Amino acid sequence: MQKPYVHGYNERETTRLQDQAATLVELLHADTTYPAGSRVLEAGCGVGAQTIALSQHSPEALITSVDVSAVSLAEAVRRATAAGVSNVQFEQADIFALPYAPGSFDHIFVCFVLEHLPQPVEALQALRKHLRPGGTITVIEGDHGSAYFYPESEAAHTAIQGLVALQQQAGGNAMIGRALYPLLSDAGYHAVCVSPRMVYVDASRPALVEGSPGAPLQR
Ligand SMILES: C[S@@+](CC[C@H](N)C(=O)[O-])C[C@H]1O[C@@H](n2cnc3c(N)ncnc32)[C@H](O)[C@@H]1O
């Protein structure tokens, strides 16, 4: 049986995911553009926090966004409708049992999902079956083990370590960002390219201070 999602599915988590996505939209999405007519699978879309940016950056792509959580999907549909998104279809589905034919998608987009899964390589393999030959996958994950503070803060490191431990107990890996290259290679992907994306925050960037996930990212 799958262990519970470490952040839960409550309203506070919905707000956290939305703040995180809004803060990071340029950092994460600036180079994610899919051609008109291409079929894109967003796996683990949650409350749709990345979906709207995906849609806006690729307005003529045909995006299918899936998640196992019906509660999160309902919120994703609500938000996408409010944002006027018209090129996204939402479906409830499990990454390990997707209801699509092999090779159905040109591109796959996965953001902050593998870090919660006990079997990330198997998840990547399951997704690969649904990519057409020559298709691409974009995977964005955090790495909570690579946060630095000035002045140094023991309390901040303790808080992060608490999350790392809880996520590990739930079967995940909050430091998975640094492992993306071997994970993708082990899952059979070729031409893997990892691009570390640092989130730097100081008092001159109040929006980032408010919405910062507090950890560097790997893409
Ligand atoms: C941290 S949220 C990220 C949501 C979104 N990608 C974002 O960046 O805001 C992780 C999501 O993965 C979903 N998830 C976990 N295991 C899954 C699985 N096996 N199949 C589909 N979705 C899954 C969870 O329900 C949750 O909504």
Distance 113 CA to ligand 1 centre (A): 5
pLDDT tens sequence across 18-69:
666 677 888 899 999 999 999 999 999 999 999 999 999 999 999 999 999 9
Per-residue pLDDT tens over the stretch 175-189 = 999 999 999 999 999
Substitution site in 113, 138, 163 for ligand 1 pocket (most atoms within 8 Å of beta carbon): 113
Indicate whether 6 belongs to any domain: no
The answer, yes or no, to whether residue 205 has pLDDT greater than 70, is yes
19 found inside a domain: yes
Q: pTM for this one?
A: 0.90
Please indicate, yes or no, if residue 3 is contained in any of the structural domains.
no
In a domain, 113, yes or no: yes
CA of 210 to the centre of ligand 1 (A): 23
Residues in the chain: 219
Band of pLDDT at residue 1, cut at 50, 70 and 90: very low
CATH number at 75 reads 3.40.50.150
Cβ of 107 less than 6 Å from ligand 1: no
Average of pLDDT values for 58-87? 97
Verify whether ligand 1 is closer than 6 Å to residue 67 (CB atom).
Answer: yes
Residues 131-156, mean pLDDT to the nearest whole number: 95
Q: Is the CB of 25 under 6 A from ligand 1?
A: no
| pLDDT mean across residues, the chain | 91
Ligand 1 atom, smallest distance to 20 CA = 9
Q: Has residue 1 been placed in a domain?
A: no
Given a contact cutoff of 8 angstroms between Cβ atoms, the answer to whether 128 and 188 are in contact is: yes
Cα–Cα distance for residue pair 34/72, rounded to 1 Å: 25
Give the domain range for residue 39: 11-218
Answer yes or no: is pLDDT of 139 > 90. Answer: yes
Residue nearest to atom 2 of ligand 1 (CA): 46
Over range 136-140, report the average pLDDT: 98
Q: Residue 10: which pLDDT band, with cuts at 50, 70 and 90?
A: confident
Contact 52 CB / ligand 1 (< 6 Å): no
Rg (CA), the chain: 17
Identify the residue with better confidence: 210 or 148. 148
4 within some domain? no
What pLDDT shows up at residue 208?
Answer: 78
Q: How far is the CA of 205 from the centre of ligand 1 (A)?
A: 29
Q: Ligand 1 centroid vs 30 CA: distance in angstroms?
A: 22
| Atom of ligand 1 minimally distant from the CA of 96 | 19
With a 6 A CB cut-off, is 49 part of the ligand 1 pocket?
yes
Q: Is residue 132 part of a domain?
A: yes
Whether 179 is in a domain gets the answer yes
124 lines ligand 1 (CB under 6 A): no
Q: How many folded domains does the chain comprise?
A: 1
Is the pLDDT at 14 greater than 70? The verdict is no
9 in contact with ligand 1, CB cutoff 6 A: no
